[in-house]
């Protein structure tokens, strides 16, 4: 088969896959689609014959199991507990707490839909948040419904068993309270698991009129990092279905990277602390501003008579006294770091780009810029700025490692390996480069190479205590890396 015919088949596949699953690949990303289709043909024993795969798909001749393999290769299962803390904090303080206060004296009920739930971390995060907020949880009717297109993701979600990689942004006390540790895995306690019901759902095929009863009359819908996979027309159709599913004045929560989509005109935008939330038929005064705090620590249950708002005041640290404003303007670089640390990635990008235009963005700030793009899912921009940073300075191992992480997220495994080789050439003791190349090699079946790099990781980690945070790891401790390496071997 010629490259031209392969290219045409991939274009045809893109049209069919968008129609059937809603997953759309832009022209510049068709090479990623082609890679996913080739991987699928290998698993199905079709010997890289994409044409046959698409023919079977078009005639609905794939079995559910075979279709599941295709969907698994088309979708990304990268998520973790308490992802995007800033959005979660805004949701808790400006939506969830006022709603619970209102419902406490009426129905004591709440319905939440997590659409595109992946392996379950998001709906379980919401279940944990509600458990923390409601001392009288047993008296409430809480319905959390989670749906996804990928059956493999749903199987994992229903098991409720995770590895250390799912807890990159989770407090240890939360893990200790809500998970049972078994060697290298963490199993959710039954009380949290039973709060969530999982269902297979293809958002692209459902119509507003055919939504099942358990998806109607939702108070809140979470659909984060899902719409970006749809074409604008498909996204508009899906959003109209969400609108139908929501109750009056219900809330629609998306990721910050998706807030620029021009398809939310049916909702009223409500901006709080740089996060845009969407409400259906808003006919009331805007909710008052609240002070935003980090996700609250674990505390002992309080009396059911105490409202969530009062309870929050008892478990959150008191506000610090106001300090006199400095006489001189704040340092923009410090501002960018603060914005990044608070999860305001869009603002951090905006601040750093201004400095870059002025020629004042130091290498350290460009690292923050790249990570901000990556955290928002804007991997192409992250990749481009990584390449610019490498062009400025090819001598730092950390620069090549960061580039490799971006390439790996984009599924460019061979290019990522090359970047990691450069990093290790510059710094043979770069732990994270050994760790990532070991992980990639393990996934590619290069077991001997994986063992070699994992052995290097173990030896290099001997100089660290379990609680030590590794440089450039975004908070990962040496102990956590050890656990992950052990689980992969």
Residue at token pair 């004045």 = 249
- DSSP H or E stretch at residue 162: strand 161-162
pLDDT at 70 over 60: yes
Coil, strand or helix at 275: strand
Share of the chain above pLDDT 70, in %: 84
Q: Work out the angle at residue 441's Cα, subtended by the Cα atoms of residues 440 and 444, and round it to the nearest 5 degrees.
A: 90
Integer Cα distance of 199 and 194 in angstroms = 14
188 phi and psi, to 5 degrees?
A: -60, 145
Position with higher pLDDT, 293 vs 163: 163
Lowest mean pLDDT among 139-143, 209-213, 268-272: 209-213
pLDDT at 257: 61
Integer Cα distance of 252 and 249 in angstroms = 10
Integer Cα distance of 187 and 190 in angstroms = 9
Distances in whole angstroms, Cα of residue 14 to Cα of each of 22, 33, 204: 10, 8, 14
Q: Token digits for 244? A: 């139908």
pLDDT at 453 over 80: yes
Integer Cα distance of 113 and 220 in angstroms = 6
381: which residues sit within 8 A by CB, 6+ positions away? 373
Mean per-residue pLDDT of the chain: 80
Q: Which domains does the chain have, with CATH numbers?
A: 3-74 (no CATH), 85-315 (3.40.50.150), 332-488 (1.25.40.10)
pLDDT tens figures, 34-52: 888 888 888 888 877 888 8
Coil, strand or helix at 200: strand
| Greatest mean pLDDT range, 129-138, 284-293, 451-460, 465-474 | 129-138
Integer Cα distance of 260 and 263 in angstroms = 9
Q: Token digits for 105? A: 């004296």
Instruction: Annotate 64-94 with b (16+ C-beta within 10 A) or e (fewer).
Output: eebbbbbbbbbbeeebbbbbbebbbbbbbbb
Lowest mean pLDDT among 51-65, 120-134, 301-315, 427-441: 301-315
DSSP calls for 86-123: HHHHHHIIIIIHHHHHHHHTTT-EEEEEEES-TTTHHH
| Greatest mean pLDDT range, 12-16, 193-197, 230-234 | 193-197
Backbone Cα Rg of the chain: 23
Q: Which long-range contacts (CB under 8 A, 24 or more apart) does 206-209 make?
A: 206/241, 207/241, 208/240, 208/241, 208/244
pLDDT tens figures, 334-352: 888 888 877 788 888 988 8
Describe the crossing of helices 363-375 and 379-392 by its angle, rounded to 10 degrees.
160
Q: How many CB atoms lie within 10 A of CB 415?
A: 16
Integer Cα distance of 128 and 124 in angstroms = 6
DSSP category for residue 341 = H
pLDDT at 98: 94
pLDDT at 289 over 80: no
Integer Cα distance of 226 and 319 in angstroms = 36
Partners of 115 in the β-ladder? 147
Position with higher pLDDT, 232 vs 149: 149
- Measured in residues, the chain has a length of 489
pLDDT-derived band at 487, boundaries 50, 70, 90: low
227 phi and psi, to 5 degrees?
A: -60, -25
Position with higher pLDDT, 262 vs 224: 224
pLDDT-derived band at 474, boundaries 50, 70, 90: low
């Amino acid at each position: 088969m010629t490259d031209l015919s392969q290219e045409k088949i991939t274009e045809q596949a893109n049209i069919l896959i968008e129609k059937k699953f809603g997953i759309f690949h832009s022209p510049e990303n068709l090479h990623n689609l082609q890679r996913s289709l080739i991987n699928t043909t290998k698993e199905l024993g079709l010997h890289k014959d994409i044409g046959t795969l698409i023919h079977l798909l078009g005639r609905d001749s794939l079995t559910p199991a075979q279709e599941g393999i295709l969907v698994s290769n088309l979708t990304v299962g990268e998520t973790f507990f308490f992802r995007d803390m800033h959005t979660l904090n805004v949701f808790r303080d400006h939506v969830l707490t006022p709603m619970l206060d209102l419902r406490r004296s009426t129905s004591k009920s709440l319905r939440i839909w997590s659409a595109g739930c992946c392996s379950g971390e998001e709906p379980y995060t919401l279940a944990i948040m509600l458990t923390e907020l409601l001392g009288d949880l047993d008296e409430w009717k809480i319905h959390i419904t989670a749906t996804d297109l990928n059956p493999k993701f749903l199987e994992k979600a229903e098991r409720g068993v995770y590895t250390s990689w799912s807890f990159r942004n989770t407090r240890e006390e939360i893990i200790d309270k809500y998970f049972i540790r078994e060697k290298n895995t963490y199993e959710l306690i039954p009380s949290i698991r039973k709060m969530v019901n999982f269902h297979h759902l293809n958002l692209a095929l459902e119509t507003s009129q055919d939504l099942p009863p358990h998806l109607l009359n939702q108070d809140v819908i979470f659909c984060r990092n899902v719409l970006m996979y749809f074409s604008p027309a498909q996204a508009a159709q899906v959003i109209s279905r969400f609108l139908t599913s929501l109750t009056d004045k219900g809330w629609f929560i998306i990721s910050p990277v998706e807030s620029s989509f021009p398809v939310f005109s049916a909702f009223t935008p409500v901006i709080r602390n740089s996060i845009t939330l969407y409400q259906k038929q808003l006919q009331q005064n805007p909710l008052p501003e609240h002070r935003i705090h980090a996700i609250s620590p674990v505390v002992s249950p309080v009396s059911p008579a105490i409202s969530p708002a009062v309870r929050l005041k008892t478990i959150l640290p008191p506000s610090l006294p106001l300090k006199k404003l400095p006489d001189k303007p704040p340092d923009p670089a410090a501002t960018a770091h603060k914005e990044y640390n608070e999860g305001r990635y869009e603002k951090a990008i905006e601040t750093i780009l201004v400095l870059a235009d002025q020629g004042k963005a130091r290498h350290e700030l460009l690292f923050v810029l790249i990570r901000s793009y990556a955290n928002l899912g804007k991997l192409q921009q992250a990749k481009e700025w990584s390449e610019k940073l490498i062009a400025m300075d090819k001598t730092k191992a950390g620069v090549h490692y960061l580039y490799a992480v971006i390439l790996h997220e984009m599924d460019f495994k061979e290019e990522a390996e090359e970047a990691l080789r450069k990093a290790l050439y510059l710094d043979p003791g770069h732990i994270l480069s050994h760790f990532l190349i070991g992980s990639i090699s393990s996934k590619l079946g290069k077991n001997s190479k994986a063992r070699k790099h994992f052995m290097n990781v173990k030896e290099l980690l001997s100089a660290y205590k379990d609680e030590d945070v590794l440089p450039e790891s975004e908070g990962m401790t040496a102990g956590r890396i050890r656990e992950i390496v052990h689980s992969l071997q």
